[in-house]
């Protein structure tokens, strides 16, 4: 999608006033799409701490350059933060239009750094230190509080987050291809460049990938695939997002979709490369969703989360490992965007959690509880049933 086309669409959509029209709108009109990035994406290269010299010291090979005339430089958001440049024509126009916000230092209390433990903990949304009820996901509990509001999972199987007493359907969207390029596909791609100036570069690239994966061992490779939990990949996500919008615009009010491929231990890249390609596809999909929602976009909130962020320092394979705090995205026609929301701290070595990760300053249940209260007018007793033992925190997202 071209920047001018996105801006044209945004210009046609009504914006909220300072209070946010979603709060004033009947709950029946409010729509929520939760996008779960499985694998733990590298938030520090999405929302770039451009004022931090430590960031550039910690990432000599994969850092995103400070804002400037170069097209590979971060897109300025404010004095401290920039946005990955591949989102120039998709998410950045939404931010500029006041329809997107980012919440750094967000996440869960879980410190296992395990994809599976943390994904489960987030989807269940239950108090830590107690036995888990795997038949009660927090989105299902929200549906119950909204008297069975129409909800759907755009997944092959009903995810944990939507399991519970409310009956929720799921619809497979497997048109988006899987993340990995297998040996047959690698051979086909290599043959396409045979005899050209790029032949050696392509062959060297596949050889390096195979060498690194072999070096890291089969166990990690299997873990990276398992972390996706059969989620769709970003490839083709734009068309998937349009189909999601068609269903949510006309029928469903709460939706969930998970997108895999974010476990970037090896060859993550910076302004270009593995992570950049996936962020580009994700951004174009989110912009397409906004466009396809049409007038319903003003009553829609899209929240993008992940189980955790990545290590702040790059590793020896020019990638990043499992971390803790991450960055959430909140987009919508009535979102009070154009800003970096929530509690923040200056990005320097002293602020790192266990000297390796972003800390969690914006606990996800408190933040989402505050958002749900604004969107749906939920009372304290209702929020307690969605997120037991958590005090909702309104950070003015809508």
Q: Around Cβ 182, how many Cβ atoms within 10 Å?
A: 9
Distance CA 232, CA 244 (A): 13
**Which alpha helices (DSSP H) does the chain contain, by range?**
3-12, 21-24, 53-58, 91-96, 115-124, 138-145, 183-192, 199-216, 218-226, 237-250, 274-293, 364-376, 380-386
pLDDT for the residue 262:
97
pLDDT for the residue 48:
98
Structure tokens, 351 = 């602020």
pLDDT for the residue 131:
81
DSSP assignment of 77-120, as one string? Answer: SSSS-EE-GGGTTTHHHHHHTT-EEEEEEEE-S--S--HHHHHH
pLDDT for the residue 6:
46
Distance CA 87, CA 93 (A): 9
Nearest to 263 by CA among 320, 213, 178: 320
Spell out the residues 6+ positions from residue 44 whose beta carbon is closer than 8 angstroms to its own: 55, 59, 309, 310, 312, 320, 358
Cα end-to-end distance, the chain, whole Å:
26
pTM for this predicted structure = 0.83
Spell out the residues 6+ positions from residue 218 whose beta carbon is closer than 8 angstroms to its own: none
Structure tokens, 293 = 């929602």
Q: How far is CA 79 from the centre of its chain?
A: 23
Answer whether 398's CB lies under 8 Å from 23's CB.
yes
Spell out the residues 6+ positions from residue 119 whose beta carbon is closer than 8 angstroms to its own: 36, 38, 160, 227, 229, 307
Name the DSSP letter for residue 14: P
Q: Taking the CA atoms of 320, 321, 325 and 328 in sequence, report the sign of the dihedral they define.
A: positive
pLDDT for the residue 130:
77
Q: Taking the CA atoms of 56, 307, 365 and 255 in sequence, report the sign of the dihedral they define.
A: positive
Q: Return averaged pLDDT per consecutive 10 residues of the chain, 398 residues in all.
A: 47 38 53 97 98 98 98 98 98 98 97 94 90 93 93 96 96 56 56 70 52 44 57 89 95 96 97 98 98 98 98 98 98 97 98 98 98 96 97 96
Supply angle C-alpha 264, 285, 31, rounded to 5. Answer: 115
Distance CA 156, CA 256 (A): 12
pLDDT for the residue 192:
72
Distance CA 101, CA 96 (A): 10
């Amino acid at each position: 999608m071209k920047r001018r086309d996105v801006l044209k669409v945004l210009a046609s959509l009504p914006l909220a006033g300072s209070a946010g029209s979603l709060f004033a709108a009947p709950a029946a009109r409010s729509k929520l799409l939760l996008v779960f990035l499985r694998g733990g994406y590298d938030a520090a290269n999405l929302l770039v701490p451009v004022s931090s010299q430590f960031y550039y010291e910690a990432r000599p090979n994969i850092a995103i350059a400070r804002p400037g005339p170069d097209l590979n430089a971060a897109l300025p958001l404010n004095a401290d933060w920039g946005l990955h440049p591949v989102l120039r024509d998709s998410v950045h126009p939404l931010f500029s239009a006041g329809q997107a916000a980012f919440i750094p230092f967000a996440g869960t209390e879980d410190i296992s750094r395990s994809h599976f433990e943390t994904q489960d903990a987030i989807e269940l949304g239950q108090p830590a230190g107690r036995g888990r009820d795997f038949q009660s996901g927090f989105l299902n509990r929200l549906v119950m509080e909204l008297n069975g509001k129409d909800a759907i999972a755009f997944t092959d199987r009903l995810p944990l987050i939507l399991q519970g007493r409310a009956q929720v359907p799921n619809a497979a969207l497997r048109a988006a291809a899987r993340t990995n390029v297998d040996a047959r596909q690698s051979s086909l791609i290599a043959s396409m460049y045979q005899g050209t100036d790029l032949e050696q570069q392509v062959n060297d690239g596949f050889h390096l990938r195979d060498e690194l994966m072999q070096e890291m061992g089969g166990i990690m490779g299997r873990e990276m695939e398992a972390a996706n939990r059969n989620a769709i990949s970003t490839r083709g996500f734009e068309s998937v997002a349009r189909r999601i919008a068609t269903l949510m615009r006309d029928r469903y009010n709460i939706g969930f979709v998970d997108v895999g491929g974010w476990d970037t231990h090896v060859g993550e890249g910076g302004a270009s490369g593995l992570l950049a390609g996936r962020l580009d596809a994700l951004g174009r999909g989110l912009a397409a969703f906004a466009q396809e929602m049409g007038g319903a976009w003003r009553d829609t909130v899209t929240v993008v989360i992940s189980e955790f962020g990545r290590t702040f320092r790059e590793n020896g394979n020019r990638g990043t490992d499992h971390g803790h705090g991450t960055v959430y995205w909140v987009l919508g026609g009535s979102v009070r965007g154009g800003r970096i929301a929530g509690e923040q701290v200056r990005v320097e070595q002293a602020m790192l959690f266990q000297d390796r990760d972003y800390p969690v300053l914006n606990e996800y249940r408190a933040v989402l509880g505050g958002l749900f209260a604004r969107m749906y007018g939920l009372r304290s007793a209702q929020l307690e049933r969605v997120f037991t033992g958590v005090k909702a925190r309104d950070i003015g997202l809508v």
